[in-house]
Amino acid sequence: MIKKENRTNVDLITRYTDQPAKMPDQTREKIEKHWNNSPIQLYAIADLDAMMQLTLQWVALGEKTLAIVSVDDQGCESIRNIHLAMIESLVESPGLSNTTLTLLGAPGDPPLAVIRYTQRQRRAMENIKFLIEHRIEGHDIDQAEEPDELYSKAVTSSIRKAQASVAVNKLAVVWRLVAYLKPYKGRLAFGMGSMVLLTLVSLLPAYLTGYLIDNIIRPFQTGSLTYSSAMHTAWFIIGALVLTYLVRVFSMWIRLRSMSVLGELVAMDLRRNLYEHMQGLSLNFFSSKQTGSLISRVSSDSDRLWEFIAFGVVEVIWALIMLVGLGTVLISMDWQLGLILTLPIPLFIWSFFVHGSQMQRMFLRAWRKWSAVTEVLSDTIPGIRVVKAFNQENREKKRFNDRNVSVVDEFNGIHAVWTKFWPLIIAAVHILTVLVWVFALPRVLDNGSALTIGTFVSFLLYMGMYLQPIETIGMMARMLNRATSSAHRIFEVLDTKPEIIDQKEPIKLEPVQGRVTFENVTFAYDGIRQIIKDISFDIKPGEMIGFIGPSGAGKTTLTNLIVRFYNASSGRILIDGVDIRNLDTGHFRHQVGMVLQDPHLFHGTILENIRYSKPDANINDVVEAAQVANAHDFICKMAHGYDTIIGERGQTLSGGERQRISIARAILPNPRILILDEATSSVDSETEIKIQQALDRLIKGRTVFAIAHRLSTLRKATRLLVIEDGRVTEQGTHDELINKSEGTFRKLYQMQQQLHDSYVV
């Protein structure tokens, strides 16, 4: 079965690239036949030939062979197989917009293959390179995903990253948005009904004016109606006009109120759904999206949808009803004059559309120039000290002025176009008016004609009404684009499925004892590059474990797996002997405390921040937690004590103070497992001692996992695990590892000691 994500990636390749969405079945069969039916594990496209021309070449990797399939202009394929055993090394040479991968055999021999590709293919080719390199090193990798999936995912990764959402049928997006109106059917009907009423009523005054002229004023002037009869009917007409205006004002009020409230309600529902859904999504989702992009979906996109629902939809429907209504009234009043006015309508709509497109293009150019102006501002204002220090004020003034003039030129160009367009439209309307007069007047003056002066006046009044709906319809495409784009950005988040899902009847460990077992755990964020490679260990309750190793070795990933921020790609993680995937994740995480290198504190009081981990904690527990965390003293020294409001992200506190509050927060629920990820690495020595004292108090009676750069801080660890390249390469107590000659830990420890001796007086 094809997964939805893969289907989307295939769609993206088809829509946006010139390359195949997957390897053709015949090619695949042909390669596998060459390999005695051994399956293709990964494939990619090498899209540059030796002459650096774009081409199509498939590169497929199997268990023992790499195949390079060249496709000539006639579509004929030639396959070249290279046994992986012959490859001794790979050399990757990155260029400006390309990479050359050279497969080398024995030293001095000609290369086994030279594969060239553009940046678009880089990720898929890197997957292949990664697997080959691991095989050269003698490691094998379990590959969970299908080669088609990995290929399409790799090729589209940059598009998916740049494009928050996947382009689909815009109308489908609108219908999906319309579904959000369902709970508010009554309000919607009320608003739409008022809008229809408003539109129809708007047509009445012109009609009444014509009626007044033809049936009252003219008969009175010709003497066929007496003054009293004329006035009697006139009062009715005036009454009807007043009533029309009243109904119009009332329905306008109802329409505006109903639809703006409706828009707010729908936007609120979308925001709520979006935020609630985001809370359930896995960390993978958040690491793949920019924070600003996610925030704008909740704020500005939902706001834009409110505007669309409250005004956009209504205006378009109003414009359509108005045009149909006007056309019907005009043709029914006098079909000849009616046609003069209605036939040019498509031409008007087209001219608005063309003008809109032209303006969009001009605005695009102007916005580009405008961004050059803001670029200078964002460069120089934060860097004003540098500007002044190098005495470059005049240069910056010139840079700004040049761009400022350039942007004004563009906007003047825009003004030149639209200021011409509107008079031209008005001129066209005037021409129509003249035409109406030319055709109408002889018929009005001709006594035998059916065209009355009242009908003629009504026509003139209707003419003033039909320009606005035409303009609205002309702008519809742009409005629809903006709204569907916003709706789609929201729906994309709503359609993302959480990766961590609890089973139907999850197990609750009450309480967690703290035994943590890794059984052959492997993990890759992207399905290919394994960060954790076949790791096994068994930690007993109450042990303190130190993870040591270079940056990028996989230490933090291990702790992320312990709290199930991610699921292991293969192998099992057991908590007190129970597979972590069978646990109630929320309940389990409640019994785990985490202290991170950069503690995130929320806007609010210190009390609220400490209580964040246990909102119902009593005040004694809060103070006790703060005391244990060595935070109580500095908190009480503040004028507002625990009620001190800390700024956004706790920036009014020093790093060490924030860290101690985060420790108090972590220990308040009395967690059975404590994770300390570089908890003391970003603070000064004095603060570190205080934090270390606090941590020493905390570790008693809990299973603790600590990651620390300063190895001396892990002296109290029961065991140390040295992690290198995703594997446990050494383990033992501090003393055992120190005494291990040629050991990594020993080397690291000695290096730190030397650094300490050299720089600390």
Partner 1 sequence: MLITQKKVDTVKETVNGLSTDETLKVERRLDGQLWAGRNGDATAVQVTRCFPWSQPDRFISLRDDDEKEVALISQLSDLDKESRLSVEGALIEAGFVMQIEKVLSINEDFEIRHWKVLTRQGDRSFQTKLDDWPIKLPGGGFLFRDVSGDLFFIDDVENLDEETQKHLWAYIG
Give the interface with partner 1 as residue ranges (CB under 8 A). 16-18, 48, 52-55, 91, 93, 95-98, 100, 102, 104, 107-111, 114, 116, 118-120, 122, 158-159, 161-167, 361-362, 364-365, 368, 371, 485, 488-489
- Separation of alpha carbons 291 and 298, rounded Å: 11
Smallest distance, partner 1 to C-beta of residue 93, A: 5
CB nearer to partner 1: pick between 107 and 138? 107
Round to whole Å and give the CA distance between 148 and 40.
10
Nearer to partner 1, 68 or 646 (CB): 68
CA dihedral sign, ordered 621, 626, 628, 632: negative
Q: Report which DSSP code applies to 301.
A: I
Cβ proximity to partner 1, 121 vs 569, nearer residue: 121
CA 164-167-173 angle, to 5 degrees, is 100
CB 180, min distance to partner 1, A: 19
Q: Which is nearer to partner 1, 245 or 367 (CB)?
A: 367
The least distance separating partner 1 from the CB of residue 410, rounded to whole angstroms, comes to 10
Closest CB to partner 1 among 95 and 183? Answer: 95
- For 495, other C-beta atoms within 10 Å of its C-beta total 13
Strand 719-724, strand 544-548: pairing: parallel
Which residues are within 8 A (CB) of 635 and not within 5 positions of it... i.e. 6 or more apart?
606, 626, 641, 642, 644, 661
Helix, strand, coil percentages in the chain from 3-state DSSP, rounded to 5: 60, 15, 25
Rounded alpha-carbon distances, angstroms, from residue 139 to 142, 518, 533, 534, 580: 10, 20, 10, 11, 27
Min separation Cβ 506 and partner 1, Å = 38
Strand locations in 105-221 (E): 113-118
SS3 category, 574: strand
Tell me how far apart the alpha carbons of residues 493 and 472 are, in angstroms, rounded to a whole number.
31
User: CA 662, CA 687: separation in Å to the nearest integer?
Assistant: 14
Identity of the residue, 166 or 638, whose beta carbon is nearer to partner 1 in the bound complex: 166
Q: Which two tokens stand for residue 254?
A: 């109802």
List of E strands, 454-494: none
Q: What is the smallest separation between the CB atom of 605 and partner 1, expressed in angstroms?
A: 39
Where do runs of H (alpha helix) occur along 291-344?
291-296, 302-307, 313-333, 335-342
Instruction: Please identify which residue in the block is written with the tokens 């002997």.
Output: 577
Nearest to partner 1 of 110, 448 (CB atom): 110
Q: Which is nearer to partner 1, 370 or 439 (CB)?
A: 370
Q: How far is the CB of 337 from partner 1 (least distance, A)?
A: 41
Judged by beta carbon, residue 159 or residue 429, the one nearer partner 1 is: 159
> Coil, strand, or helix at residue 680?
coil
* Residue closer to partner 1, measured from CB, 94 or 423: 94
Give the gyration radius of the chain's Cα atoms: 37
Residue pair 682/494 in contact by the 8 Å Cβ criterion: no
Closest distance to partner 1 from the beta carbon of 143 (Å): 24
Instruction: Find the shortest distance in angstroms from Cβ 59 to partner 1.
Output: 17
Smaller CB separation from partner 1, 103 or 203:
103
* Per-residue DSSP letter, 569: S
Instruction: Give 121 or 202: the residue with its C-beta nearer to partner 1.
Output: 121
Q: Which of 493, 545, 530 is nearest to 703 (CA)?
A: 545
Structure tokens at 75: 């579509």
Q: How far is the CB of 677 from partner 1 (least distance, A)?
A: 30
* Shortest distance, position 375 Cβ to partner 1, whole Å: 10
Only one residue has tokens 């062979």, namely: 65
Among residues 364 and 426, whose Cβ is nearest to partner 1? 364
Minimum distance, C-beta of residue 329 to partner 1, in the bound complex (Å): 39
SS3 annotation, 11-55: HHHHHHCCCCCCCCHHHHHHHHHHCCCCCCCEEEEEEECCCCCEE
Residue nearer to partner 1 on the CB measure, 18 or 25: 18
Q: Find the shortest distance in angstroms from Cβ 96 to partner 1.
A: 5
Minimum distance, C-beta of residue 163 to partner 1, in the bound complex (Å):
5
Q: Which is nearer to partner 1, 173 or 711 (CB)?
A: 173
CA dihedral 17, 21, 23, 25 (to 10 degrees): -140
Beta carbon of residue 47, minimum distance to partner 1 (angstroms, whole number): 9
Least distance from partner 1 to the Cβ atom of residue 366, Å: 9
Q: Give the span between the Cα atoms of 195 and 259, in whole angstroms.
A: 10
Identify the residue whose tokens are 């606090």. 694
CB of 684 to partner 1, least distance (A): 34
Nearer to partner 1, 354 or 619 (CB): 354
Cβ neighbours of 57 (radius 10 Å): 20
- Spatial strand order of the sheet with 530-539 comes to 530-539, 516-524, 570-575, 578-579
The residues pairing with 48 across neighbouring beta strands, listed in sequence order, are: 54, 116
